[in-house]
Every structure is written in structure tokens, then in C-alpha cells.
Chains A and B, each alone.
Chain A
Amino acid sequence: MKYDVVVIGGGPAGMAAALKAKEQGASVVILERDVRLGGILNQCIHNGFGLHYFGEELTGPEYANRFKTKVEQTDIKVMLESMVLGISEDKVVTVLSPKEGLVHIEAKAIVLAMGCRERTAGAIALPGTRPAGIYTAGAAQKISNMDGYLVGKKVVILGSGDIGLIMARRMTLEGAEVKLVLELQPYSSGLKRNIVQCLNDFNIPLYFSHTITKVEGMPRLTGLYYAPVDEKMQPILSEEKYVECDALLLSVGLIPENDLLNGMNVQMSNITSGAVVDEYRMTSLEGLFSCGNVLHVHDLVDNVSEEAEIAGECAAKYALGKLDNKGTKYNVKAINGVRYALPQVVYGGDGKVRVFFRVGAEYRNTRLNVKCGDEVLLTKKYQIVAPGEMQHIDLDKSKITGDITLELEA
């Protein structure tokens, strides 16, 4: 099997990338491990998707369906239940599926769109027993929304990531009592709108700078202890409290699922846990592109779609020998309060390039300066800027003459 562009993952990123690649005239295959396209959007039955991209409010499945319908109208080949077992540096993709068995696909370009996974109880070394009743928020969301089962009736949520916030509302609507949401940081990692719509509207308390000190119960969760943390993030045990619960949902971070790149010669970012990419979303390995949550974790699917369209279009151009990536490369660096900026590499030339960034903590009344050497290319004021909300700026490429830094003014 041979394709110009092999897209790994059929969620929002994969579908958007595949459609753009197809528009360029490339032959395209999407490899999706689930039984249907759409990825995690399929279990996100709440609304709020598409405000930016479609200018209207859609549910997750509706948003996914818009893309899925378009994919079905093209001759993009879709392989479902297809798990990629490996990628070689000469771009042979090994994929396993019940229908086609083990096949090796030769690709001219590959787009990584595998999304992310959730940080687990084990990864955060949650102390106490290991009973039934502890779920990552996304897993609980799948059990609830896809399978139709309740995971508990008295719920505590650790972490204020968006899925956790959404699940606080969902569990409440399904008849469970959400007792509290605990967040280790002094700020939320989720969107402001989700705190308002999912917690405040339902009178669910959110405790910042709090963590779980011990979970109890075997074989099912019966309760847990929690406490505030000091400035070193260590729990203040003298202020420990107990809450009875039969379900604990974890929303403590998402990790781009780049395991396929283990052992490959692809430059990775320690901050995003995704690949380092240029403005075409091409990684350090020629012809290998990355987009969506496997590149860096997004807050809004609308941004995922836009990013994936860049990757898909450029992957097709690369495959067809039309991608101009011979220009001078400049690095984009994040310092002084800016946690990361992406893409990490831009090219000089004409037009504009959009750079996304996230800050490392909550800042009020601050200013972002984008510098090229000593020259300030752009400056932007923020009343409030928080890690939970990705920001972007547009830069004139013609002004870029050297490496760029993004920093917050002290």
C-alpha cells in the first residue's frame, strides 16, 4: 500500500488534516483505532464546540460529524479499528486491523494526529488504597456518555481540567452528588467558562491549593482525605479533612500520546511533550507532521482543526514536492512567564505567521513582548492571562530577521 499522506488518528485533528491534504490533490488514508471517526469528541455530548470555527455552538458529536460527512464525500480512504504499531524513519507505517491484518503502508508524508491520554492515579502517586471507583475523568465520561452507566453517586473531582469540570456537571445531571473539586494549583487549568457553567451554576465548591492525602476503601472507594497545600505544594496535614465518596474523577493533566516516536530521531519538547515543529507543523524528521493534541494540548477543538489544516495542507504539499521549506529558519523561544510557544520554528518571507503560547501561571495586568533581538516586534496587554487558556499572536514574517522570544513584562 502506498499513499501520499498517511494520517494517524481520525479525531478532529486527523479529519481536518486529511481533508486539507485531499484538497491539495494528494492521495490520503486515515488510520483510526476506534470503530468510528471522531475521536474523543464522540463522548463529549455537551455543547460549546465550534463557536470559533463554525460560528455556532455544537456538541462534540455534531462537530465531529461535520468533518466526518466531508471526509465521506471524498475518496479519502478510512481504515477503522486500525492501530499503528510502528513508524520507520523512511516513513513506512505498520498498521494492524481485523479487516486487513498487518500491513505496511509506504507514505510520502505522515501526519501525527493521535491526540492525548490522561494522567492517571498512578502517575500522580495518589496515596492510599487502589479500589474500584477511581477513574480518569475521560474514562468516566466514556462510561457515562457512550456506554450509559453511572460510575458513582457521591463524587469528588481532583484537578480542574476541562474534562473534570464538564464531568462535574454531567454527573450532577445524571443524579450524582458532586461534593467538591480540588485543585493543587492556586488557579484552574480549565477554561473560565467551564468553571462558571459547570461548577458555579450547580453550587459545586472548588478548592484551590488543595490535594488528596489519602484515598480509602477496598474493594470500592468509600472516602478520601484532603488538605490544603503550602507554597511548596506539600499538604498541611493538620488541616486534613475527610469526605465520603464512592467515585473519584481525576482531571490532572493530559499527555500527548507520542509513544510511536519512542526511539525515533525526532526532536521533542520537554514542555509540551509533543514534537518540536516548524510553522508548517513539520517535525525535525522531514515529511513527518504533527497536529492537534498529540502536538500540544489544546483547550478548544476549533484551534485543533485550524492547526490540523496547516499540517494537512503542508504534508500534501511536501508529498507532492510543492512545500517551500528552504527559507531561513528562526527559533521561537518562550521565556519569563511564557511556558511555551508553538511553532518553535518559523521561516522568514512574506505574509503572517500565527504563534500560539501558554503562560506558566496566572498573571494580571501584564504585557506580552515579542522580540527579535533587541527589537520589539509586537506588544500586547492582558488584563488576565492564565495557563488554562491558550493565546496567540500574529507576526509579520517580513519583520522577522532573527530568533524570536516571547516574554511577559515583569
Chain B
Amino acid sequence: MEKLDCIVIGGGVVGALILDELSKTNLKAILLEKENDVASGASRANSGIVHAGYDCTPGTNKAKFNVEGNALMWDLVKELHVPAKQCGSIVVAPKEGLKGIQELYDKGIKNGVKVEILNREQTLKIEPNISDEIEYSLYAPEAGIVSPYKLTIAATDRAILNGARVVLEAEVKDLSYKDKEWTVATSNGSYTAKYVINCAGAGAAKINDLAGADHYETEFRRGDYFVLDSTEGKAVSTVIFPLPTEKGKGILVAPTADGNVIYGPTSIPTNEGDTGTTLDAFAEIRKNVSLTYKCPNYRKVIRTYAGVRTIVGHDFIVEYSKKVPSFIQILGICSPGLSSAPAIAKYVIKLLAEKEDVKVKENLVPLPKKKKLLELTDDELNALIKENESWGRIVCRCEKVTEAEIIQAIHSPLPATTVDAVKRRTRAGMGRCQGGFCGTRVIEILARETGKTIPEIKKDMGESQIAISRIKEDSHEV
């Protein structure tokens, strides 16, 4: 077995960015993910906001990593060709909310964040559709939006191009430390390395327990969302927050980096992995959206979803375990986790450099930019079609995704093997018909490109077959 330096457990945005940072160094790293794709937990189902960092308590890890992470994000997304926009954010409040706005402003200044208190007139210039009761806002021009799963996927792809390995469907069963080495037994092989970096998100506390590292109690809070058609994309230009409460940053109205609009999230106590939405949650979103935003358009809802926040105490934990050696524990990365992830990844390298001679490799391989139909000129497109006619074959009509783009995704450094994995990479099926027309085409292409049969192709995680069997073939067994 090859000698590894680091085993990264968990393919969320934090794990992917750590792997990406490790792949730039002399340290040999592998990432273990229990599902069949990265970004399978909270990194696929959150608000996609790059927070400015004004609302974190000064002096905390959250404040530090958020502010640093925001600063790192905008170059990172360019390098990784991830959809993102530094569109700014506003926290809006009615007349009686001025005190809350002032408090946020003070925290923002302490955290070193660019913030400004605006009156109604000034706020309207940024966002004309705030509700009539709004009198003040806190404007943070450095906030923005990013596609969280595309960031995770692109970071993983680049890490692989630079020598890192990723093992999917590798659920960790056991960890043991012997002869200055960790051995991690999984459902998909056993791996040995000098260091373990536990960034398993919702499962991180369990991994800690398996390793005999520090024990933490975890709370889970579900956030439900509505996703609106891209035809609503122009209706909202910035991220609109209410004043934050104990429960979190509140229900926001925001554009997404891919051109949709989202309303959400709720904050409802739940169990690990319970991403089911509820009627009550939808009602709560409707009620709260109208407090900040004047023209919600529920007729344009194309999708609902929920993600689960993992909460461990009040602050992020990013440190060496105090109980076991060579074990970096990263827990409780709830909001602003996405914003902080680039800074957390850099910090993990610093932690490793305390003990190892970490050198940055020369000749790093850049992540090639994938061509997209909608970004090509007529001449570029026709030249591509002449070479490869799949560039002329639209599979997803709502999002205008060609067969060529789907084939590209299937043969990426981290291959897309499911319908949803293709969707996250290409947007095929993410439009208003939600894969009603293209779903079966994507299944056919996946089956063809991977040499599988149609019933073997899955929608998403686990045994999520879409077509269960040939018609009549097994009817004698029924």
C-alpha cells in the first residue's frame, strides 16, 4: 500500500478544499466520502452565501475564518471556474430594529468588515423590493453568493489532477492508531496515514468517538428552502436578511450563483440526515419572507429542499485533538461554514506545518475550464459541433445543456455516476421541468458512458434506482 500522509474524512466543502490545499504540497492525501459523490450533505443544501462576517462574535473562530474565507473566496472561484458573485448583502429592519442594526455594525467594525448603515431611501437603491416596513439596513458590499456544490466538486477535481485521491462510498467503520500511524477501515477499503483530518460534517462527532478523540454533543437544525425559476433571477440583486436571532441568520431572500432565487432557510431541530421538508416549514418561510421582501412569487417555485446544520457549541472547532495524536478535528461547521471553508483549509495546512516539513509543489496543474453551450460564440460552437456533434444535441431544454457537457461531467476527474451528480455539474434537470424531459436521456447517456444497464443507474445516493426493472421480465416473480 502506498504511504499516505493525510486521510481527509468527509467530502463536503471543507474536506474538498483541504484536499485541494494538500494537493498543492508534498503531502500525499486521500479523501474518504461515504456517499457516491462529494457535496452530499450540508454542502449541497445550504444558502450558498459568502457572508461578509459582521455578525460573528468578535474573537471567535467563526469571525476569523469567515473574514479570511471571504477574502480568499473570490480568487478561488475564478481559479476553479465556479459560479459566484460578490453581490453584497443587506440586513433589513423596521424602525424598531435600528438598535439591532447598530449592534451588527459595531461587531462588523470589530471584525474588520466593510459595513454601512443605510436608511430606507439608500436601501431601496440597492434593492427596490424590500417590504414597506423596512426603515434601515446594514449593507455589506463584500458579501456574495457561490454555488456550494460546484465549489466542492471543482476543488475535488483540481485536487485529483494534482495527485490527491478520492474514494467514494467509503463509510468509516473504525479508526486505530498504532506505530505512529492511523488506520482507517471503511466500507470500501482500509487506509493508513500519519494524520487524520476529520471534517465529516454531520458525522464528525461520531468519527471523533471512533478514534477516541474528544467527545462532543451535536445538535442538528434543518433549514427548508424554496427555489424559484431563473425567470425570477433578475428580481433580486442582493442577499436580503432579516435581523439575526438566537436561531440563526433568519429567513433570507437571495439570488443564487446559477441565476435562480431562494427563499429560506427555516431553523428546525431535527435528526442527523433528516432533509424532509414540511408544510409547517413552508408556512414559516412564507410568513417571514413577506417581512423583508415585498414581492415574493410562489408561482415561480420550481423546487423545495432542506439541508441540515450541524451545531457543536457556539464556535467552530478546528484544532488537533487533545486526546489522540496526529488527529485534526473540525466540528460544528454550520453557518458561516461555506464562507469560512477556504480559510479553514489554509489553517489546516498551517497546523500540519507545525509538525511536518510542508513544501509547496512546483508545476501545479490548473483546473481546465469546461466549455458550456451558453458561453460559446456561434463560430466556436459550430467548430465544436463539426468535431463532435454531441455539442449540437441539447439534452436539458430548460437549462440548455448539451450531450457533450453531460459526457464531460461523466468523465471528469471525479466522475459523475448518478443523475443528480450530472445535475450538480451541468445543471441538466435543474430547470423548470425538473428533469421531466431530460431525466431519461441523462440515464441513457450515463448507462452508455459507464457500461451499465438502465436499472443500475441511480438518481442520487444509495439504492436510488429510477427504473427498477425491465417491464414483464420479472413478472413471473411478482
Contacts and interface: CB of A to CB of B under 8 A. Distances in A.
> Is the A/B pair a real complex?
yes
Interface of A: 33, 81, 83, 85, 96-102, 117-118, 120-123, 125-132, 136, 138-139, 142-144, 146-153, 174-175, 213-216, 218-220, 235, 246, 259, 262
A163 B436 CA distance: 14
Given A83-B394, A149-B470, A219-B462, A139 B436 contact: yes
B472 interface: yes
A329 B459 CA distance: 52
A35 to B, nearest CB: 10
A87 B154 CA distance: 34
Interface stretch (B83-91, B98-106, B322-330, B384-392): B384-392
B298 to A, nearest CB: 8
B227 interface: yes
Contacts of B390: 98
A161 to B, nearest CB: 14
B276 A214 contact: yes
Given A149-B454, A220-B464, A98 B471 contact: no
B278 A118 contact: no
B186 interface: no
Contact of A117 (B432, B439, B459): B432
30 contacts: A33-B397, A98-B385, A98-B390, A99-B392, A101-B382, A102-B378, A117-B432, A117-B433, A117-B437, A120-B302, A120-B432, A123-B301, A127-B279, A131-B460, A131-B464, A139-B437, A139-B439, A139-B440, A142-B440, A147-B444, A149-B470, A150-B470, A213-B279, A214-B278, A215-B276, A218-B462, A219-B459, A219-B460, A219-B464, A235-B279
Contacts of B435: 139
Given A98-B389, A132-B465, A132-B466, 17 more contacts: A83-B394, A97-B393, A98-B393, A99-B392, A102-B381, A118-B436, A121-B434, A123-B432, A125-B226, A128-B278, A131-B460, A139-B440, A144-B471, A147-B444, A149-B469, A151-B468, A153-B468
Interface in B381-425: 381-382, 385-386, 389-394, 397-398, 400
Contacts of B437: 117, 139
A128 B470 contact: no
A215 to B, nearest CB: 8
Nearest to A235: B279
Interface of B: 226-227, 231, 273, 275-279, 281-282, 298, 301-305, 373, 378, 381-382, 385-386, 389-394, 397-398, 400, 432-437, 439-440, 444, 454-455, 458-472, 475, 478
A127 B454 contact: no
A175 B305 CA distance: 33
A216 B281 CA distance: 16
Contacts of B461: 218-219
Contacts of B298: 125
Contact of A219 (B282, B303, B463, B471): B463
Contacts of B458: 132, 219
B235 to A, nearest CB: 14
Given A127-B278, A147-B467, A122 B440 contact: no
A101 B385 contact: yes
Nearest first, the 3 A-B pairs at minimum CB distance are: A149-B467, A122-B303, A219-B464
A125 B465 CA distance: 23
Interface centre among B392, B400, B470 (most CB of A within 10 A): B392
